[in-house]
Each structure stands twice: as C-alpha cells, then as structure tokens.
Amino acid sequence: MKKGGGVSEDAKKGGKKFNGPDSIKSKKKMVKKNMQRLGGAGLSLEAFANAKTRNDNYNPALIKKQREFYKNAKYVQKFKRSLKQQEQQNDPSTISRPLEDENETEEVRNAEQKNKNGKKKSQSLEELYKKKHEEQEKARLEREAIIQAAKEKREKTDAKRKSLKEKMYKKTRSGQPVMKYRIEHMLETIEKLNKAKEATSST
C-alpha cells in the first residue's frame, strides 16, 4: 500500500480486486451452493411457517417414560407368569390332569386300532367315552373334596391363630398384659413337647 492509502501496483497485479468480477463470481458460487444445500431455492414462507409449528416426535423425557413403562410391564408379566406357575405346582388338580389326558388319548388310540383291525367291535367308542367321562367326573369330585378339606383346615388354623393373638394382646386396665392366657399357652406347649418326647421314647 502507498502512503496515501491507495492500492499499490503489486497488489493490483497479484491479488484479486475486492469489487471485481472474480469476487462477484465467488459470491454467486457461494449462493448457489447454499441454495443446493437448503434444497432448491430455499424455503417458501408457508413451508417455513409449517416447519416452525411442526411438532417433532423426538422428546427425550417422553421416550424415557415410555421405556420405563415397557420395562415395568415386562416385569409385571414375568411376575404374573411365575405366580401362575407356582399356583399350578401347588394345585393338586393340575398335576393329575395331564396324566389323565395321556391315559385317555392312549385308550382312544387303542380302541381305534382294535376297531380298525376288527377285534372287539362290540365295545364302541361311545361306551369308552362315557366310561372315561365318568372316571373324569369321579376324579374331579375327589380333587374338589381334597381342596375343600385343605381350605377348611386352613380356615380352622387361621381362626385359632387369630383367637390366640387376641388373648395374648389382652391387657388390664392399667395397661399390663393379662398373664392368664400366656401361662395357659406355655403349659399347652410344654404338654405337647412332653407328648412328643414320650412318643419318640416309646418307639
């Protein structure tokens, strides 16, 4: 640069002019690149407004809540499944059913084979079905009787435990525990222990 503030001849020769045709071309290229990047001639006013008002589905807090919900649902399903399995294992009716079904299918197969071969045609499948049905009914009644007996036993023990608890927690007017019931309970337990000892010593 010269002292007067003008551009030197070297700068004119070597460098580009700031307001020359080269700088205009580079600006046009930049504008063209930006237009392509934005997808054509930029966004229209309507598209811009829609883009602003559009509700994006990406919400981290909502996604986290959904994940937690699905996780909890899985755990609940697993828990329910395990409870169901435990109930089936504890229930005597479910244990005997598969064996009965297997026996039934085997008998039906044997009967069908006998009918096919021509042996024992007198015993029809209807008779076999009736017989099997009666057996199943009998087994069902037995199962129900066993379940009912277990239920009654449980109810009795619960009632006994409840009454014992009430007696143990009884208190006098001054707030002291009533020792009468406690002593009775201790005597009963001692008697039971003595009986058990006698039974073991006799054997």
How would you label 93-108 residue by residue, b for 16+ Cβ within 10 Å and e otherwise? eeeebeeeeeebeeee
Q: Between these two residues, 55 and 74, which has the higher pLDDT value?
A: 74
Dihedral of the alpha carbons of 157, 160, 165, 171, in degrees to the nearest 10: 180
| 109: pLDDT strictly greater than 80 | no
What CA–CA distance (Å, rounded) separates 179 from 103? 60
Enter the tokens of residue 7. Answer: 């551009």
What CA–CA distance (Å, rounded) separates 15 from 8? 10
| 95: pLDDT strictly greater than 80 | no
Q: What is the pLDDT of residues 50-69, one digit of tens each?
A: 665 555 567 888 888 888 99
CA 148 to the chain's CA centroid: 31
Q: What confidence score (pLDDT) does residue 87 get?
A: 84
- C-alpha triplet 66, 67, 71: angle, nearest 5°: 115
Q: Average model confidence (pLDDT) for the chain? A: 76
Stretch 136-140: mean pLDDT? 91
CA separation (Å) from 37 to 23, 27, 31, 76? 21, 15, 10, 50
The domain spans of the chain are 9-53, 91-165
pLDDT over 90 percentage in the chain: 18
Q: What is the pLDDT of residues 180-192, one digit of tens each?
A: 888 988 999 999 9
Q: What is the pLDDT of residues 118-127, one digit of tens each?
A: 545 556 777 8
